[in-house]
Amino acid sequence: MLDSLPYLKNSDFPAISRNKLEILQVNLGYLCNLSCTHCHVNAGPKRTELMDKATMDEILTFIDSHAVHTLDLTGGAPEMNPHFRYLVTQALDRGLKVIDRCNLLILMEPGFEWLAGFLAKNRVEIVASLPCYLKDNVDKQRGKGTFDASITALQKLNALGYGQGNSDLQLNLVFNPQGATLPPEQQALERDYKQHLYEHFGIVFNHLFALANLPVQRFGSVLLSTGQFDNYMNLLKNNFQAPNLDKVMCKNTLSVDWQGKVYDCDFNQMLKLPLGTDNKTHIRQVADLTGKAINTLQHCYACTAGQGSSCTGAI
């Protein structure tokens, strides 16, 4: 991947190191029912990579010996992994908070009629991708008809109690810019989302996460093919904010791919950048990470530009 994105090499990004590990972000596979243009994972319906149950058990063994409090499940569409329910229930039995990074449309797919009820019954927090509150923009990024299906899915979740003020069922939405720009100010955008979705569709949710697009995988390829890669990297570097270095997600999060290999973050996973400087490649090899160096390159400027960007939005 780095060979196709040469600008990411020879990084001048500041050195950073890890704090105490708190969160495991686990990619259950690259299989997805969608092929979104902004996807940094290059996920899609033809991908075959899926985590097996044995690897999940190794992750659970790691959890049993580390003070992890959150299991953050991603993909692809993580719910398409046949062992999704097993991992969720095992993590909940251990007292972990479980987050499902859901593309919403999976809730409407044939064969997944069980999913919304399962998530609600188990109090799983949902972080749902809705890259805009306008139909044309969403359909452009995710495919024709995806906006209407997303709205139907959100209404289904609201009916189960998600996003309601008197409920502990957390429903958070994710915004991604249309192209090579930084996200707008998160709080103002959240107000716009809430007003539009409620007034037009009766939809409520808890929070909006505004995420910057990372110049890797599918989005990186789009930037290269349209001649925007250098300009976007310059935009990220010119908007670098040093205070964001203390808040980036790699400080307390470990990324695990579908094979159990470990990385400093989900984006490093896509670039095949190994964990820190210890040459640890699998979760069964990982011990205490506190104080260890984080492997960084030029793409890290996307997390520190402007208001900052992490898996929980602006930082």
Model confidence over 145-161: pLDDT tens digits?
A: 889 999 999 999 999 99
Per the structure, the count of domains in the chain is 1
Q: Chain-wide mean pLDDT for the chain? A: 91
CB neighbour list of residue 94: distance below 8 Å, 6 or more residues apart: 60, 63, 64
pLDDT, mean of residues 194-213: 96
Enter the tokens of residue 97: 């908070």
Residue 213 DSSP class? P
Domain that holds residue 133: 2-304
With tokens 């990411």, the residue in question is 8
Rounded Cα distance between 177 and 175, Å, is: 7
Rounded Cα distance between 162 and 42, Å, is: 29
pTM, to two decimals: 0.92
CB 218, CB 39: distance < 8 Å: yes
Residue 312 lies in a domain: no
Is pLDDT above 70 for 272? yes
Model confidence over 8-43: pLDDT tens digits?
A: 666 899 999 999 999 999 999 999 987 766 566 777
Rounded Cα distance between 72 and 283, Å, is: 15
CB 29, CB 87: distance < 8 Å: no
Is pLDDT above 70 for 1? no
Residue 55's pLDDT is what? 98
Is pLDDT above 70 for 131? yes
Residue 251 lies in a domain: yes
3-class SS letters over 83-145: CHHHHHHHHHHCCCEEEEEECCHHHHCCCCCCHHHHHHHCCCEEEEECCCCCHHHHHHHHCCC
- For 31-40, 201-210, 258-267, which range has the lowest pLDDT when averaged over its residues? 31-40
Residue 10 lies in a domain: yes
Residue 309 lies in a domain: no
Residue 213 lies in a domain: yes
CATH for 142: 3.20.20.70
